[in-house]
Structure 1
Amino acid sequence: MNEIKFKNVSKSYGDTKIVNNLNLTIKAGERLVLLGPSGCGKSTTLRMIAGLEEITSGDILFGDKRINDIEAGDRDIAMVFQNYALYPHLTVWDNIIFGLKMNGVDKTEINTRTTEVIKILNLQGLEKRYPKELSGGQRQRVALGRAAVKNSDFFLLDEPLSNLDVQLRNSSREELIKLHEINRPTFIYVTHDQIEAMTIGHRIAILNKGDLQQIDTPEEVYNNPANIFVAKFIGTPPMNILIGKVANKKLYINDRCIFSNENVIPNLSNRNLIYVGIRPEHILVYTEDAFNRIQGEVTRIENYGNQKCISVSIGNENIKASIKNDQDIKKNQKIYLEIDTAKCSYFDIKTETNLKVEG
């Protein structure tokens, strides 16, 4: 089993650059998620691995082998697309084994692999049905099974769950992880859904406009975003980004000092303004004022079931905070926010990069 390396890989259509000088190593056997908004280059990156898109410049390597000029059919890759592309005239069983039969795999081996995958994907009893007789979730599982039985070293998935409802997506994520754990192929998953990325990936590579923004574990991406784009893209609700003023080793937001410990903020020498990023769950809400609390007015309350999210106007800015369901807060009420500064992220006002990462 080999890792996949991108070395200065770019992809352009005419003057339009889709992927820009990508340098990336995907570890052998890991689950890597390519995450980003529509048009960021994630599907193009996946298709370049598969050989379905030509590389404009740079190299892709499987281990130490350059594969730029190797045909897609010779790359030993299993791939699942957003549209399931099942053969309508074949049963579930025959759809799954089609590739194995074409490659001359022994019949006993075909039966062993297929039976195992059908069990994992909860397709027992559906083997003789045709695609038109299946639900969307069942068709999606058949497409996954067809790829999984190949036992390829590389398993590529291009938004395979995007056509499913929320409940099916949740169960399908668990099945995907089970599939990966059978043979531990190098697993590359494309999505624009951050929840999928956080729950599936060992690591997440976040792309925007063809540029790699950050690659790290879900925990690190969430807690230490490399820049403001990542900070806003990861998290529901997203991270609040506020302007902070630095003076006399103190940090002010909306002209209120929120702390005076210079060690909390790195790289503050010669800075007057910074961006302060804070997750809604790291803000405490009070009805009484105190030192380092910021006054605001509640403009909106959203009920998420297990908690509520309030939108608060503070001066010319808005901030979101999470509160417990039993906390008695009402719209238009004046409240006071206390920010957990130890859990803040701090960004350069010009480059928008994380000062901790930058330092």
Structure 2
Amino acid sequence: MSNITTEVRGALGVVTLDRPEALNALTHAMVMEMADALRAFAADDAVERVLITGAGERALCAGGDVVSLHADVQSTRGQGAARFWRDEYTLNAQIARFPKPVVALQHGIVLGGGVGVSGHASHRVVTDSTRIGFPEVTIGFVPDVGATWLLTRRRGELGTRAALTGDHFGAADAIALGLADSYVPADRLAELVSLLETTHPDAAIEQLAAPAPAGSLVAARPMIDQAFAGDDPRAILERLRAAGKEGAAIAETIERRSPFAVAVTLAALRRARGLRSLEEALVQEYRVSRHTALAADFSEGVRAQLIDKDRSPKWTPSSLAGVTPAMVEACFAPVPGGDLELPQPGRPAAAHRVQPQPDQI
């Protein structure tokens, strides 16, 4: 049974992730089917624009099927997981370079791989129910699917704060993070989809968009930018503890995450700032994903959060003080089977996207 459905409505090609009982979490088969659907829409002259959405009210997509990836790591040392990531990251780049406008409805839960199939679209729409983020550090893993690219395209450290805490965010904060572009109230979403059948996304979204209800990140940005600067996660924690009640609460959150994953994530973000394209970031993330999936914390994190659900992981090392530079550096080394190979970009990623105003950058 397919968990991806497609239809053409007027000039709109619709791709729906259809696994609502699992919050539309991505399987390998879904990744491949979605890639095929997008290729078909790209070749169909009757399709002028594409919509990506999720079945049900609860989620666009809660991410990859992590339990299956964990099982593969246990049984094959991650050979199946490597194939999944190769195809998933290729899909992320395919969406970014799609030759027609792509609208992603980021409704409900949009985590990890859910951002991968929506955050690289040319038009990214959040709504009242949106809860978006990269929770990977909570399971001893690292933000991937182009996260290190998306979270480092704007000045300041909001992206670093999102990645190191694994927190979830609403509509306004998703826009501030650079993971979304526009807010459309939930009661206007059906109208938006109908309008897209005949109308370019720029005009359709402009007609129905509204200011998003206030979030929390922009007001806290001076503290966040100061505290999350630099390359040393332990120094970040020290500055957060000295930044008052809000900073101390953020520090406590980070201290509950995998120290190893936090250190590797920070290093990956800093390296991504110097990369030239989404594709380069995905190549780097492929290496990091392969290495961190084999580390003790990934298996332990998935066990604690998703299998036994005792929410009491025993991290190795148990604190950032035990994470050495050599341990972090090893995660960026070449992997067996070679690097991820992606087509060279023929045009800027998400070329149709409305550019942010200067005060948003």
Q: TM-score, normalised by structure 1?
A: 0.29
Q: Which has the higher contact order (CA 8 A, sep 6+)?
A: 2
Q: Which structure has the bigger radius of gyration? A: 1
Q: TM-score, normalised by structure 2?
A: 0.29
- Higher share in helix: 2
- Higher share in strand: 1
